[in-house]
Amino acid sequence: MSQEVKNIKVSGAKNSATRLLAAAALSDKEILLKNFPTKLVDAGHKADFLEKSGANIITNHKESSLKIKSEGLSNRVTEFNFPIRTTYLLAASLLKREGCAKIPYPGGCKIGQRGYDLHIMVWERLGCTVEEYADYILITSPGKLKGNSISFPISTVGGTENALITASIAEGETEIFNAYVSPEVNDLIRFLTAMGVSIEVIGNSYIKVKGTTEFRATTYNVMPDRIEALTWLVFGVLSGLSLKIDDVPFDIMEIPLKHINEAGIDFFRNNKSIYVSPECLNLGEIQPFELACGTHPGVISDMQPFYVLLALKAKGISRIYDYRYPERTAYLDELNKLCGNAISYEPGKIVINGPAKFSSHPIVYSKDLRGSMAVVLAALLAEDTAKTEIKDFQMALRGYNNLLDKLEQIGIELEANDNTVII
């Protein structure tokens, strides 16, 4: 008898929704964001900052929507302790209204070095001055921002997003060179265009923006989260569940899914869903593989932990290379506690000796957002009956909307207390 099929729906993309929320604050008119991950911790922090700055926000958890009207936005925040990595995206909406913006310093995952010098360059190129104080950054414009050329020395998602949003309020045209046009950046471009900004993309690294003073009222659907889709696919394969995953963004996952196929996993799909079951393993086992993380349309670094997790059950040695974020390794020490030290690594290179056995460990720690989710899944896959205590569980909640409820939908009940979960 076949087992019951569990269903799980992919939420709106974290790396798009939080950016769209910042861009929505440019408009004085009402903006409705549908398919919005309303229970995502990171989205909640950004909404909190905007509300304390004077925006009116209505969140509908049942409908997965967020409505925002920002005509009253001003620099009224005096406490700047907000754990938001992309605080720089909040500056433009305040600059537009007051000619200055006080924003918290960027916070978030500690994966190598994350400077904000490129954001300072964006503001300065568009006519602003930047001052750094103990607990906030002050960006000031003597008048209206002026369009200019912005040339990034490296390809940068965050820099491209900031340039797009800030150029949207500048007079004249802004040219952005060496932009990183990821799927989430494309979603931001579509949204800004819907609000009335003129944006032209040529090739995959040049963007021309013509700013506006009139931002339209807009209803917009947030794109599905490609990293979440991959997360549930890998967990479905490893857990042996019969799992149907809905709202998979196939158009931006061609190469990541090709790597899954090449590991011997023959999942079923239609135009928006994936079905995975034990029968999907062509030879009854996962095949070892090699892949390199890089930029879209390939396997991006945020997906790396889930290929490591998959490789732990492959029959042989797998290798994963990541020279874009070579220091993305802190979570591997925690994952090793749950797989008998089957992982070895050096900067830019991870070697996985499969097949490993997942087992519990008294205490493990969350180290970064996606890596922490891999640790949670490994603990759920433990083959013994002992318990694993995961500290800083909030890290996983930052990247996955409604995570505890989704796990419950597929038959897994967890209780999280004081930022700790016991599995």
The angle at the Cα of 117, spanning 113 to 123, to the nearest 5 degrees, equals 150
* Overall average pLDDT of the 320-340 stretch: 95
* Overall average pLDDT of the 177-193 stretch: 97
Query: What CA–CA distance (Å, rounded) separates 223 from 186?
Result: 10
Through-space distance between the first and last CA atoms of the chain, rounded to whole angstroms? 29
Residue owning tokens 């990034």:
152
Query: What CA–CA distance (Å, rounded) separates 117 from 111?
Result: 17
Model confidence band, residue 110 (pLDDT cutoffs 50, 70, 90): very low
Q: Give pLDDT, residue 370.
A: 92
The residue among 59, 65, 72 whose CA lies nearest residue 27 is 72
Q: Is the pLDDT of residue 113 over 50?
A: no
Query: Which pTM value belongs to this model?
Result: 0.94
Q: Give pLDDT, residue 111.
A: 44
Model confidence band, residue 271 (pLDDT cutoffs 50, 70, 90): very high
pLDDT in tens, 191-226: 999 999 999 999 999 999 999 999 999 999 999 999
Q: Give pLDDT, residue 306.
A: 98
Q: Give pLDDT, residue 318.
A: 98
Query: How many CB atoms lie under 10 A from the CB of residue 360?
Result: 18
The percentage of residues in the chain with a pLDDT greater than 90, rounded to a whole number, is: 87
Q: Give pLDDT, residue 112.
A: 44
Computed over every residue of the chain, the mean pLDDT equals 94
* Overall average pLDDT of the 279-295 stretch: 94
Q: Give pLDDT, residue 395.
A: 85
- Ordered by where they begin, the domains of the chain are 12-221 (3.65.10.10), 226-422 (3.65.10.10)
* Overall average pLDDT of the 174-196 stretch: 98
* Overall average pLDDT of the 380-404 stretch: 92
Model confidence band, residue 109 (pLDDT cutoffs 50, 70, 90): very low
pLDDT in tens, 125-144: 999 999 999 889 999 998 89
Model confidence band, residue 2 (pLDDT cutoffs 50, 70, 90): low
pLDDT in tens, 47-59: 999 999 999 999 9
Name the residue with higher pLDDT: 239 or 81.
Answer: 239
> Tokens representing 134?
């103990």
* Overall average pLDDT of the 174-180 stretch: 97
Query: How many CB atoms lie under 10 A from the CB of residue 108?
Result: 15
Residue owning tokens 């207390």:
417
Distances in whole angstroms, Cα of residue 373 to Cα of each of 105, 302, 334, 350, 368 = 25, 11, 11, 18, 9
